[in-house]
Structure 1
Amino acid sequence: MRFNLIILFFLSIVLFFSCKEEKTDVKFIKTKPNKVVLISINAPEKYVHLIKQDSVGKKTKDSLGPKSFRSNNGFTYLDYMNNVQTWKPKPKVRDTIAIECYNEYLELTTNNFFTSIKESFLVKNGDTIVFNYVHNIPIAKITNRTVNDIELNYNRYRLKKLFNNKYSSHYLIFGHLLLNHDIKNANKNSIAFYNKAINDYTREIQLLDSLFTSNKINEVNHKYRKDALKMLMEKHKKMKNIKKWLEQNKSFKDKETIEQLFGFDLSKTDSLMKFSFFREYLNNISKYDLEFIEENNGNSGGFYIDSRIRFDSILKDKRFNQTAKNFLLFNAYNGIGQNFRVKDKEEYFKKLQENITNIEQLNKLEKDFKLDFSKSDKLVLTNLKKDTLTFSSLLKNNKGKWLYIDFWASWCTPCRKTMPESNKLKKELEKENIEFIYLSLNDKKENWKKAIESDGIADSQNYFIENGNVSKVIEKLGIKTIPHYLIYSPSGKLVNGFANRPGKGAKEELIKLITEK
């Protein structure tokens, strides 16, 4: 299971569906002028959508068919330090957060599977916003002032008005494959939905103009929604098949004003940064049309650009002020951290330290991803008793036994699904001189401990990898995806660095090795 896996990424996007609005009796909470208060009432524990059958407003309970799940779909915003934050309300209870705010407006965004555009709420500094959930859709209500519901919950309105509460053309450009699996005509269908999206774009611009003229949305929201929509169209044109089609059909392109490049005045970066569509715009123009690198690791793989080139290009790009560079360099470094070697991570982390001014975010990045390069030559492990040792020490401690080592994580679904077979295999080979060892990679300790108990592997050797992001040992072992299995002989020699999975040839492989030796 690859950490940066992109294949069918839209499967993980939240799918929403709505109906009538529920009333709330939440009283107004007075806030200071520099605070925005968010109140969530009974947020869903899981956001579930029926991929083929569902539409907004349709209940999914007890329905059959392939579903898409998301454990928690929070609200994303830019804090006063220009850090992107996501608040994930506690499920099934009333949860509250106060956000420090120094701008006139604060944008809150959440995912919407039907639209391919963020579900967004533009609120004012000093507002108290209550979110109720109808069929897992967040519906906002401002308690301290009167706001037209169309203006506040515009995404909900547009989906019903323009798309009859079903998949939008914008989503279907790439989402049609999920619905009909027509791979043969994928490009043709994608182009057809793109052309429909062009018409829907025109319809929506007209709708927004009409709403503004009739005073149902204010001037700020009018411009904000139009800019977000234009940015969505630019995003469509970046898709490889659409980009190629547009280049082949320049005569059509010249006739369509929609095909004109849409951009922002970068001198206004500081004021525009609070909007997610502007941040996405910065990301798009800072990728410099770099070609994708394709990687295939057996059953998994991915596509990614060379973020090292991107990082260096951003540094030299005079269009970007320091605010933009702070945002973009962190974004580029994330790509380096996901796809490149430890030496690159170390080199570019030093560059990051030298070229950004957001120290708070830098410290958070270093802490969250444990970017301590002083022990890169080792793989540092901790057991349940909080004892620390290295991977080489672990091998020495178990010398004289066959070792079947499982690299896994509590968040890795294929890893967890294999555990029953692993327990079965362990029982079948209990009379053999073999030790089952489980190493948790890129995990959270609290989740790791819970998974050990629930998966029934507590009686085996369990270790938490402390420096997986910066360990050259992981690279040397060739571990790019999990689950990943190793077999060591009693002499401590690595016999197979890509061993079979439990239930998929591991038993036969181990018995053969033990018998031959």
Structure 2
Amino acid sequence: MKNIIPILALFFVFGFYPSTSSGQNIKQPIRGQIVLIFKNAPDNSYFIGKIGIKEKKSDYQISYIDDHLIHRGFNFKNVTMYDTLVIKTHRNFIELIHSYKGLSSMGYLIKNGDTVLFTYQGNKPWAQVLNRKVLSSEINYDYLVNERIRHDDYSAMTKYSHLSEFTKNPPPSFKEQFAMEKVQFEKESKVELAKTNYFLDSMRKANAISETYYNYQKINFIYSLHSLAFYYKWKFSDSLLKNNKFQDILFPTLTRENDTLLFYNYYREYISKKYNTLQLKVKKIKKIVTPNSFSTDYREVFDSICNWNNLYVKVKNYFLLQTMEYISQEYSESDFEKYTKKFRKEVKDTALLSYFEQKYRIDPPTSNELELQDIRGNNKTFKEILNSHKGKVVYVDFWASWCGACRANMPDSKKLDTAFGPKGVVFIYISMDVKLADWKECIQKIGLNENNYVIRNPKSSKMLEELEIYPIPRYLLYNKQGKLVHKNAPRPVATVEIRKLFDQYLLE
């Protein structure tokens, strides 16, 4: 009774009453999609380190797995009020992960057809389903666990997984402190997990969570215990499983007819144990950069997956894509090309192949047009983008994340965008980056507007050749009719000159 009272009190504070449409006039769910609305979303991708420095730890603030088992990520635009993400899906539910304070996250199980509004209390996301009645304590389960069990701190498991971030004492006592805190975080994890399990059961008894969501969270919890026992060899994980008779619960089984389990994080982590076991079996090779250290030969891992009998096709594709990521990072261009051919031969999913080819920029288009890709993977030509802004003055910035002079101009460019954007000047940023990850990380750090593109065909574009865009930074100015009026426009740092030109062409 002593423990139940605080839990019930928490329910009354946060409420487990059905959430309603709040006047948004959304009457029926739209099947085939999920709509997410974010109001005044903060940047949750950073972790504040021991010495107070912000460190980027999360590539995406919102992530999910699409219908082709492709990991998708979304970052908020620089808007002051609302940002919206529409996810197309044929599945009954989407598992959404919202990053929180860089190293942590909150999960949501969202039904097909739902429209969900996210508001924020500090950095903490609070979700509300707008089109149907849903228990707020159910959809915000992770929020409540964070408040009730962790007291708005990182979980002990997160601290254990990132010991270097949380170990307080600097060298020379670091090694000793590291060992001490490792033991401490393991003890804290045991307490946290026991409390979390009790909390979840109490919520179900209080009807603060539906049976569907309870089962989802319970299986999540059980799989996490199995993972801890497997990866960290924590004995208390096994004891928790036995003491609560979790080992008697039948896990859902993946079949060829029903592969929906793969869309859930807990099951992907579960099958990843097979992948890790395979990694341990293959030979180790010397690293090129650090010859005295050894790493798994992922080329052999790839070949072993191809020869793995009775492996479901989607699982095989998932493992192969994961392995190609390692091959792209650790091996030569010729090795990557060789295994790209093998990947194309093994994988028949056209959507997955298209994603792979876009991500690694394989077989770029050879058209004369300047072919571009936006931050969400959509392909457009420069001509199409320019035509979409007819009636406005367009200022084009060719740049790259590795170009110091380009980045030095960005603060002035953002100021000009703030001053002239509302008047009718559109700022378009076109990157020369080869590595998409570098480009995406840089635009997030700089905080540019949504008109960001990367070039897909730098070798075949006649526009780049005719205008002699290199070297960068380079700026173009187009009038309201879409005509190029300055093929070497003043840089943003030349504030007086560029402002005069903006004013001149806005008056035309």
TM-score normalised by length of structure 2: 0.60
Return the match for 2:202 from 200, 206, 210. Answer: 210
**Matched residue pairs, number?**
366
Amino acid at match of 1:34: G
Unpaired runs of at least 5, structure 2 = 1-12, 371-398, 409-431, 448-454, 460-508
Sort the Cα spacing of 1:282 and 1:212 in 2 relative to 1 into closer, same or farther, 3 A: same
Sort the Cα spacing of 1:301 and 1:82 in 2 relative to 1 into closer, same or farther, 3 A: farther
Deviation at 1:355, TM superposition (A): 1.5
1:159 and 1:166 in contact (8 A); partners too? yes
CA RMSD of aligned residues (A): 4.5
Counterpart residue number, 1:325: 316
Deviation at 1:48, TM superposition (A): 4.5
Counterpart residue number, 1:229: 221
Counterpart residue number, 2:130: 143
Counterparts of 1:153 and 1:273 in 2: how far apart (Å)? 23
Question: Are 2:254 and 1:266 equivalent residues in the alignment?
Answer: yes
Deviation at 1:465, TM superposition (A): 11
Question: Are 2:126 and 1:134 equivalent residues in the alignment?
Answer: no
Please list, as runs of the form range in 1=range in 2, the aligned pairs for 1:279-428 lying within 5 A after superposition: 279-288=268-277, 290-291=279-280, 295=287, 297=289, 305-372=296-363, 410-411=400-401
Counterparts of 1:102 and 1:366 in 2: how far apart (Å)? 24
Question: Are 2:24 and 1:27 equivalent residues in the alignment?
Answer: yes
Sort the Cα spacing of 1:350 and 1:199 in 2 relative to 1 into closer, same or farther, 3 A: same
Counterparts of 1:253 and 1:131 in 2: how far apart (Å)? 34
Sort the Cα spacing of 1:46 and 1:109 in 2 relative to 1 into closer, same or farther, 3 A: closer
Amino acid at match of 2:144: Y
Unpaired runs of at least 5, structure 1 = 1-18, 53-63, 376-381, 383-408, 421-438, 455-462, 468-517
Sort the Cα spacing of 1:173 and 1:449 in 2 relative to 1 into closer, same or farther, 3 A: closer
Deviation at 1:143, TM superposition (A): 0.6
Sort the Cα spacing of 1:171 and 1:114 in 2 relative to 1 into closer, same or farther, 3 A: farther
Return the match for 2:90 from 93, 98, 102. Answer: 102
Counterparts of 2:226 and 2:62 in 1: how far apart (Å)? 24
Deviation at 1:35, TM superposition (A): 1.8
Counterparts of 2:322 and 2:230 in 1: how far apart (Å)? 18
SS of alignment partner, residue 277 of structure 2: coil
Cα offsets for 1:327-372 (capped at 9, x unmatched): 2211111111111122321222122112212112212221331234
Amino acid at match of 2:88: E
Counterparts of 2:219 and 2:142 in 1: how far apart (Å)? 14
TM-score normalised by length of structure 1: 0.59
SS of alignment partner, residue 154 of structure 2: coil
Counterparts of 1:443 and 1:149 in 2: how far apart (Å)? 38
Please list, as runs of the form range in 1=range in 2, the aligned pairs for 1:425-444 lying within 5 A after superposition: 442=435
Deviation at 1:443, TM superposition (A): 5.2
Cα offsets for 1:262-281 (capped at 9, x unmatched): 97623276121221222232
Deviation at 1:123, TM superposition (A): 1.3
Counterparts of 1:216 and 1:108 in 2: how far apart (Å)? 21
Counterpart residue number, 1:480: none
Counterpart residue number, 1:400: none
Counterpart residue number, 2:429: none
Question: Are 2:155 and 1:168 equivalent residues in the alignment?
Answer: yes
SS of alignment partner, residue 345 of structure 1: helix
Return the match for 1:68 from 41, 49, 55. Answer: 55
Deviation at 1:108, TM superposition (A): 0.8
SS of alignment partner, residue 87 of structure 2: strand
Deviation at 1:310, TM superposition (A): 2.3
Counterparts of 2:77 and 2:312 in 1: how far apart (Å)? 37
Sort the Cα spacing of 1:303 and 1:217 in 2 relative to 1 into closer, same or farther, 3 A: farther
- Percent identity (aligned): 22
Amino acid at match of 1:161: R
Deviation at 1:141, TM superposition (A): 0.7
Sort the Cα spacing of 1:303 and 1:98 in 2 relative to 1 into closer, same or farther, 3 A: farther
Deviation at 1:45, TM superposition (A): 5.0
Deviation at 1:305, TM superposition (A): 3.3
1:129 and 1:141 in contact (8 A); partners too? yes
Counterpart residue number, 1:201: 193
Question: Are 2:274 and 1:276 equivalent residues in the alignment?
Answer: no
Question: Are 2:70 and 1:91 equivalent residues in the alignment?
Answer: no
Sort the Cα spacing of 1:66 and 1:45 in 2 relative to 1 into closer, same or farther, 3 A: closer
Sort the Cα spacing of 1:309 and 1:220 in 2 relative to 1 into closer, same or farther, 3 A: farther
Sort the Cα spacing of 1:304 and 1:197 in 2 relative to 1 into closer, same or farther, 3 A: farther
1:40 and 1:96 in contact (8 A); partners too? yes
Counterparts of 2:241 and 2:437 in 1: how far apart (Å)? 50
Sort the Cα spacing of 1:418 and 1:302 in 2 relative to 1 into closer, same or farther, 3 A: farther
2:45 and 2:60 in contact (8 A); partners too? yes
